[in-house]
Amino acid sequence: MKTRVITISDPEQQEKEIMEAAQLLRSGQVVAFPTETVYGLGANALDAEAVGRIFKAKGRPSDNPLIVHISDISTWHKLVEAIPKKALLLADKFWPGPLTIILKKSKLVPEAVTAGLDTVGVRMPAHPAALKLIELSGVPVAAPSANISGRPSPTSAQHVIEDMNGRIPMILDGGKTEVGVESTVLDMTGSAPMVLRPGGVTVEMLQAAIGQVRIHPNVMRPVQKDEKVRSPGMKYVHYAPKAPVTLVRGELNRQVEFINKEAARLEKEGKRAGILATDQTLSRYQAGIRLSMGDRENPADIAGKLFARLREFDELGVDAILAEGVEEKEEGLAVMNRIARAAGFHIIDL
Ligand code: AMP
Ligand code: MG
């Protein structure tokens, strides 16, 4: 299949181009498009066969549900059963934006989307090209991240081309994505709202809006054997570059010392270490290939750069990646969740 890449610089002026993508969605095809979080791989959420093409293009396990993207609130009311007051409040405050809300699904939503669950995650993305695409398609759009399953999520059209060229008919190129990590997933079906995946709408922001919000224990530790999985995505290796990743946590000077020692040890063995540092520490490393994931005082900056850096290490061909830890608060929690998962939860606590 030939993949067309169409640059979208001004969605308002480019209705014709976006209409072509919308027609593909309407005819049951899969299209990659930019959102403010990462690039999505979309299909008509009401068409089980079209949704099946997403799983095929990504090589995604069929028991991992998809998030449904909408461009107006009235569609949400059709996709779910009752919407609790707190969910309405959050939608009002954070949509369009990087927040996915899980509620009981209506009959309209095919099981192919929810992987057989009786709940569905819905969000309204903030990227103008995404909103225009959904609006012109006239249907809700199921979309996971537009990477091959297990790879770091794409934050530029180039990343999507790397993974999806030849597999899908069209990629809309809207430049680099702003947030850089996937949406916050909030389960509102239980007695208290629970964050299943941290993202751009932080736990602190949610708590300020609706009071108590829990964080699922699997955000920072792996699913244990025999443990009931709240979100199927938690089971899978994710965001992983080719080289094994080690995440180092603890007092910063000790992190730097540990990573320097470990990189030197790897070099002695004839291996290339990749060091994922921060702006503040980059110059303190001597061995290996060193990249900064951003300003550690500004975790949103790191979220924006993280996945691109993991892909760069793939291209540079390192044998092992040593990643610094940042504070697990605000956007830092999403950053640490993604690195921990890229590391398969191989974490060194100092
Ligand atoms: P992705 O589409 O790659 O951004 O991943 C979507 C994430 O949301 C996965 O971790 C899913 O397991 C999770 N998710 C989507 N829908 C549901 C749902 N109904 N219940 C629990 N988790 C969900
Ligand atoms: Mg994904």
For residue 250, the CA-to-ligand 1 centroid distance in Å is 30
For residue 246, the CA-to-ligand 1 centroid distance in Å is 25
Q: At what angle do helices 203-210 and 85-94 cross, to 10 degrees?
A: 130
Residue 231 CB–ligand 1 contact under 6 Å: yes
- Confidence check: pLDDT of 177 > 90: yes
- Confidence check: pLDDT of 332 > 90: yes
- Confidence check: pLDDT of 51 > 90: yes
For residue 154, the CA-to-ligand 2 centroid distance in Å is 9
Please report which confidence band the pLDDT of residue 241 belongs to, taking 50, 70 and 90 as the band edges: confident
- Which positions ≥6 away from 42 have C-beta within 8 Å? 25, 30, 31, 32, 33, 54, 69, 133, 141, 142, 143
Q: Tens digit of pLDDT for each residue in 129-174?
A: 999 999 999 999 999 999 999 899 999 999 999 999 999 999 999 9
* Single-letter code of the amino acid located at 7: T
For residue 66, the CA-to-ligand 1 centroid distance in Å is 6
The whole-number average pLDDT for the span 106-113 is 98
What pTM does this model have? 0.96
- Confidence check: pLDDT of 349 > 80: yes
- Secondary structure of the chain in HEC code, one letter for each residue: CCCEEEECCCCCCCHHHHHHHHHHHHCCCCEEECCCCCCEEEEECCCHHHHHHHHHHHCCCCCCCCEEECCCHHHHHHHECCCCHHHHHHHHHHCCCCEEEEEEECCCCCHHHHCCCCEEEEECCCCHHHHHHHHHHCCCEECCECCCCCCCCCCCHHHHHHHHCCCCCEEEECCCCCCCCCCEEEECCCCCCEEEECCCCCHHHHHHHHCCCEECHHHCCCCCCCCCCCCHHHHCCCCCCCCCEEEEECCHHHHHHHHHHHHHHHHHCCCCEEEEECCCCHHHCCCCEEEECCCCCCHHHHHHHHHHHHHHHHHHCCCEEEEECCCCCCHHHHHHHHHHHHCCCCEEEC
Mutate to test the pocket of ligand 1, among 185, 186, 187, 341 (most ligand atoms within 8 A of CB): 185
Q: Which atom of ligand 1 is nearest to the CA of 143?
A: 2
Residue 152 CB–ligand 1 contact under 6 Å: no
Q: Which atom of ligand 1 is nearest to the CA of 114?
A: 19
Q: Tens digit of pLDDT for each residue in 244-296?
A: 999 999 999 999 999 999 999 999 999 999 999 999 999 999 999 999 999 99
User: So what's the pLDDT on residue 235?
Assistant: 74
Residue 97 CB–ligand 1 contact under 6 Å: no
Residue given tokens 């969910």 in the structure block? 87
- Can you give the length of the chain in residues? 350
Q: Which ligand is nearest to the CA of 184?
A: 1
Q: Tens digit of pLDDT for each residue in 182-212?
A: 999 999 999 999 999 999 999 999 999 999 9
Please state, rounded to an integer, the average pLDDT across all residues of the chain.
96
Q: Using alpha carbons, list the distances in angstroms from residue 305 to 75, 189, 220.
A: 33, 33, 20
- Which positions ≥6 away from 281 have C-beta within 8 Å? 252, 255, 256, 296, 324
Closest residue to atom 12 of ligand 1, CA basis: 233
Q: Using alpha carbons, list the distances in angstroms from residue 42 to 35, 52, 146, 246, 295.
A: 11, 11, 8, 32, 32
- Confidence check: pLDDT of 238 > 80: no
Alpha carbon 17 to its chain centroid, in Å, reads 26
User: So what's the pLDDT on residue 253?
Assistant: 98
Residue given tokens 């180039």 in the structure block? 158
Q: Which atom of ligand 1 is nearest to the CA of 120?
A: 19
User: So what's the pLDDT on residue 242?
Assistant: 86
End-to-end alpha carbon distance in the chain: 50
Q: Tens digit of pLDDT for each residue in 52-109?
A: 999 999 999 888 999 999 999 999 999 999 999 999 999 999 999 999 999 999 999 9
The four Cα atoms 211, 214, 219, 225 give a dihedral, to 10 degrees, of: -170
Mutate to test the pocket of ligand 1, among 37, 76, 109, 197 (most ligand atoms within 8 A of CB): 197
Q: Rounded distance, CA 144 to CA 41, Å?
A: 6
For residue 148, the CA-to-ligand 2 centroid distance in Å is 9
For residue 261, the CA-to-ligand 2 centroid distance in Å is 33
For residue 139, the CA-to-ligand 1 centroid distance in Å is 20
Q: Which ligand is nearest to the CA of 307?
A: 2
The encoded tokens of residue 45 equal 């959420």
